[in-house]
Structure 1
Amino acid sequence: MSETSDVRARIAAARHVVVKFGSSSLTGPDHLVDTARIDHFVDALHGRMARGGDVTVVSSGAVAAGMGPLHLPARPTDLATKQAVAAVGQVHLVNAWSASFARYGVTAAQVLLTSGDAGRRDRARNAQRTLGRLRRLGTVPVINENDTVATSEFRFGDNDRLAAIVANLTKADALILLSDVDGLYDRNPADPGARFVPEVRTGHDLNGVVAGAGGAVGTGGMASKVSAARLATRGGVPVLLTSAGNIADALGAADVGTVFHPRPERALSAWKFWALYAADAEGTLVLDRGAVDAVTAGGTSLLPVGITAAEGEFSRGDIVDILGPDGQVVGRGEVNYDAPVLRGMLGLHSGELPPARRRPVVHADYLSNFASRL
């Protein structure tokens, strides 16, 4: 079996699958929830469940589904209106999912998240526990970003990224991203000569690929799906990217679309994935060049001698961004000192510090760098 066939077989056999649906797949041209299409999707999802395992749904579409009931001809652009429309649309959206699953005697559960829920460790763990309990109770979590309260400062950016974080949070065995395109192409598939990309092993496979932005009712175009797929694979989750029209095959033999290979030998631990991609940073540490080289090489704790500045009012146990001398973020870690204490230690060797302050600023076990990303 080839490596490509192997990863597709792994997705086909996954016990827990996160499936993300885009807005254009869930609403019609009248900007109302397309219940017939949702029934079709649930038929495929239940078929997968009947073969064993469970599914978690990440559903876009709240804003798109609210436009019809409010008679809006175009997606709103101001925050207040978008949040109001989302509040209307979310009711229609979750009711459609719930009614469709009820045809099979399956209960659906609505879960609305903001990036703040994933960004704080206690809230992330609570979300993880809740999702786990829902699955053990035999329900299907239907997750969406809480557009009604989320602001630009506290957004995942799009539901593709949310799906990647949920896949890691729930320790999913596979992530399936569904859109209106049958897979990844090196340019707009409508262009003559566009080349289909059947698999992505590393970032090198994306050289020359030009991915576009979102459509009229959604926010996440192909670029966001590629970014989310690469994000999920950093946590060891294989990803299948295809069209919603291919859902039966995607949930069956997984022999459609583009697969993104996980990198198990380089996969991040759950903590490092959270720290790098979901946690809220409370401050920054600026390093000299030597410290940057040591940190990005991996396996080295961060000591005060290599730190030139500590910015922000962070406390021990907080996550901080780690910057090089040119201001580029090179990693993140859990800091061992309050900001005022650390500022008095900067640039000092361990022997110059009292014994109580000779532990690393960031221990290697709680430090992750961006150098090893795909």
Structure 2
Amino acid sequence: MTAEDEQGLRQRLAAASPLVVKVGSSSLTDARGRLDLAALTALVDTLAAHRAAGHSVVLVSSGAIAAGMAPLDLPRRPSDLPTQQAAASVGQGVLLAAYTAAFAARGLVVGQVLLTADDVTRRGHYLNARRTLERLLAMGVVPVVNENDTVATQEIRFGDNDRLAALVAQLIDAHGLLLLSDVDALYDGPPSLPGSVRVPFVPTVDALQDVRIGGSESGVGTGGMVTKVEAAAIATSAGVPTLLTSATQARAALSAADVGTVFAPTRGRGRARRIWLEHATAPQGRLVLDDGAVAAVTERRKSLLPAGIRAVEGTFSTGDAVDVVDPSGGVVARGLVNYDSRELPALLGRGTKELARELGPAYEREVIHRDDLVVLSRRRR
């Protein structure tokens, strides 16, 4: 893309509706974990101005655990899950009360939406979450989204709100994603090192292979630059342009100023089901394919049949998501399986017509239909 294309993307983001904005804990709290009302109010001012210009906004806000630290006299962010959940239980109310008051002062109503990984990885929950968010936006409400830390277990956590924000962006078919943190942009090296240069534009995440991407140094947040780049990859693969910058530069970002790092969309919009399969589902098992089946699935976009499967790994039920791997173990696709893991091994290597003759017409079906299958990069493991 040219510089003009980059500026065009910045202008698209500045006018995005709906726009998903994610803000990290470190941008809303002080070093001791107390909620910084001045920082929160400044962010609300910026989002209210975006709303006043006629654009809808979804705010994905971290900070519940951090906001609960002060009331509970916790000197630092807890590392064990039960204490994190207790802090989130206390802090979520503190955080939402602050947002409610700040937005109300600007004539706007907020609605709390707490999500767990199940809400975007299970298809029924996913559709319900989308309907809820779309109705809130239609009613003029500013949804404030957070991970439901109080009930999420270690096994079903998003891990950070960057990924959650990207999934929300594709969930509602957003026109832009703004990732805000305490770092003003992506750099070609650690920002603290002399000589590191801001990366203003990323045409594709693959272009960052030679860039050293560091982690978070914040004492209150869980995300880092790696999670933000991963979130940008999820969003841009859904056709959502993404801008990464600091919370203090949010207003400039929504004025199309040359701040932060903008990521160009790499695919067209309107692929919600396949995007959901690729990024939001949690695979429950693996199917190992022979080379012929790999080619059929990845190159000819065929359905997966029992004849091409060598082995079944893991425990799963009909309708679960599973990874499809090549003989060396590289993940090549993901899909929704039509058999459970107990039934499938007896069918491997056999043709569907043979199975139908022996077991009945119900067995003349694909293991994964091509409409329920998304091809992934061969680099995924």
Establish whether TM, by shorter chain, passes 0.5: yes
Q: What residue identity is the alignment partner of 1:101? A: F
Alignment of 1:1-374 (within 5 A): 2-214=4-216, 215-265=218-268, 269-297=271-299, 299-354=301-356, 355-371=361-377
Superposed CA deviations along residues 188-212 of structure 1, whole A, max 9, x for unmatched, are 1121110211111123420221122
Matched residue type, 1:223: V
Give a deviation string over 1:226-261, Cα, whole Å, max 9, x none. 111111111111100011110111122253211110
Q: Which letter maps to 2:232?
A: A
Q: How many Å separate the matches in 1 of 2:210 and 2:283?
A: 33
- Once the two structures are superposed, residues 96-151 of structure 1 have per-residue CA deviations (whole angstroms, 9 ceiling, x without a partner) of 11110000121111111110111111111111111111111111110111111112
Distance (Å, rounded) in 2 between the aligned partners of 1:356 and 1:67: 56
Contact 2:290 2:326 in 1 (8 A): yes
| Residues 333 and 374 in structure 2, CA contact (< 8 A), matched pair in contact too | yes
Comparing 272-281 and 43-52, the one that deviates more: 272-281
Contact 1:298/1:369, CA 8 A, preserved across alignment: no
Query: How much identity, in percent, do the aligned residues show?
Result: 53
Contact 1:213–1:219 (8 Å) recurs in 2: no
Q: Partners of 2:191 and 2:318 in 1: how far apart?
A: 50
Q: TM-score when scaled to structure 2?
A: 0.93
Shift of 1:13: 2.1
Whichever residue aligns with residue 192 of structure 1, its letter is P
Pick which of 286-295 and 70-79 moved more: 286-295
Give the residue type in structure 2 aligned to 1:362: I
- Letter matched to residue 246 of structure 1: Q
Q: What is the identity, as a one-letter code, of the residue corresponding to 1:219?
A: T
Q: CA deviation at 1:337?
A: 3.0
- 1:308-327 CA distances to partner (integer Å, 9 max, x unpaired)? 12344534333222122223
Query: Which TM-score applies when normalising by structure 1?
Result: 0.94
Aligned pair count reads: 373
Paired with 2:371 and 2:197, the residues of 1 have a C-alpha distance of: 42
Give the whole-Å Cα distance in 2 for the aligned partners of 1:318 and 1:151. 20
CA contact (8 A) 1:134 1:141 kept: yes
Secondary structure, in 3 states, of the residue corresponding to 1:143? strand
Native 8 Å contact 2:303 2:366 kept in 1: yes
Q: Contact 1:310–1:343 (CA<8 Å) still a contact in 2?
A: yes
Q: What do residues 52-95 of structure 1 show as CA deviations (whole Å, max 9, x unaligned)? A: 12100000011111111222211111111111111111111111
Please list every run of 5 or more consecutive structure 2 residues that lacks an aligned counterpart in the other structure: none
Aligned partners of 1:234 and 1:373 also within 8 Å: no
Give me the CA root mean square deviation. Answer: 1.9
Equivalent pair of 1:12/1:254 in contact (CA under 8 Å):
no
**CA contact 2:22–2:165 (8 Å) conserved in 1:** yes
SS of corresponding position for 1:189: coil
Q: Which runs of 5+ in 1 are unaligned?
A: none
Deviation per residue, 1:323-366 (Å, 9 max, x gap): 22223322211222344443332111344332543332212221
